């Protein structure tokens, strides 16, 4: 992006485990926290070139893997999320599209949390 002398967007896929500690997920959480910090540092380094760097702090999302791991995933996580529902892949896609859009040209070094408010209180469902 620098060599092309054009602006650009870098968006990392992080997790709410990089924000809130969850027992049993220390290594995973550390790597996601590192991505959040890397977004901040790279935002400072690449900002002068018109490149923004952000991260998505993704929470409980209903997908095939999570459904396979826990057939009651949607109900378990929906009960502990302030919005009353688990996230959908489209929730993440819309946030990603926003950060990649011209409307987000002045947003950099941030982590956009996509968790339906879960990190406000961070309760774990009984199955965790």
Domains of the chain as residue ranges with CATH: 8-119 (3.40.50.720)
Query: What pLDDT does residue 58 have?
Result: 98
Of 3, 2, 12, the residue nearest 47 (C-alpha): 2
Residue 27 burial (CB count, 10 A)? 9
Six-digit token string for 76: 């378990």
Q: How would you write the pLDDT of the chain (128 residues) with one tens digit per residue?
A: 888 888 899 999 999 999 999 999 999 999 999 999 999 999 999 999 999 999 999 999 999 999 999 999 999 999 999 999 999 999 999 999 999 999 999 999 999 999 999 999 999 998 65
Q: Which helix (H) or strand (E) holds 76?
A: helix 73-79
- What is the SS3 assignment for 75? helix
Tell me if 111 sits within 8 A of 55, measured CB to CB: yes
**Whether 28 is catalytic:** yes
Which residue among the candidates 28, 93, 97, 124 is catalytic per the annotation?
Answer: 28
Residue 115 burial (CB count, 10 A)? 24
Query: What pLDDT does residue 36 have?
Result: 98
């Amino acid at each position: 992006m620098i060599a092309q002398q054009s602006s650009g967007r870098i968006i990392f896929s992080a997790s709410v485990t990089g924000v809130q500690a969850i027992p049993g997920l220390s290594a995973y959480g550390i790597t996601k926290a590192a991505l959040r910090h890397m977004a901040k540092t790279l935002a400072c380094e690449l900002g002068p070139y018109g490149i923004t760097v952000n991260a998505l702090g993704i929470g409980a999302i209903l997908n095939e893997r999570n459904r396979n791991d826990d057939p009651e995933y949607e109900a378990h996580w929906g009960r502990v999320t302030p919005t009353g529902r688990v996230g959908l892949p489209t929730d993440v896609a819309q946030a990603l599209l926003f950060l990649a859009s011209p409307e987000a040209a002045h947003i950099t070094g941030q982590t956009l949390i996509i968790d339906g408010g879960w990190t406000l209180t961070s309760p774990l469902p009984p199955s965790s």
